[in-house]
Amino acid sequence: MTIDYKTRGTCSSHMRIEVEDGVVQSLQVTGGCDGNLQGLSRLVAGMRVEDVISRLEGIRCGFKPTSCPDQLAQALKQSL
């Protein structure tokens, strides 16, 4: 399953997440902090969706109420 998600409240603008059998296969992010998001993409590859959500949901970026990791968790939650 491919999840296309327009992010809200972050420097990134879009996420494309490939999920197969409840496991994140890949994450591609448009915009945002390139190095950090490449790292995030590699870290979540192979993780169960529920684990990604529980680890990343609620993370904030500075004074913003959300972050790229939190937006990933929100995108995955919507797909369940």
Whether the Cβ atoms of residue 55 and residue 41 lie closer than 8 Å to each other: no
pLDDT value at 80 more than 90: no
- Would you place residue 41 in the very low, low, confident or very high pLDDT band (cuts 50, 70, 90)? very high
Q: Identify the structural domains of the chain with CATH numbers, from first to last.
A: 2-79 (3.30.390)
pLDDT interval class at 27 (50, 70, 90): very high
Helix (H) / strand (E) containing 14: strand 12-20
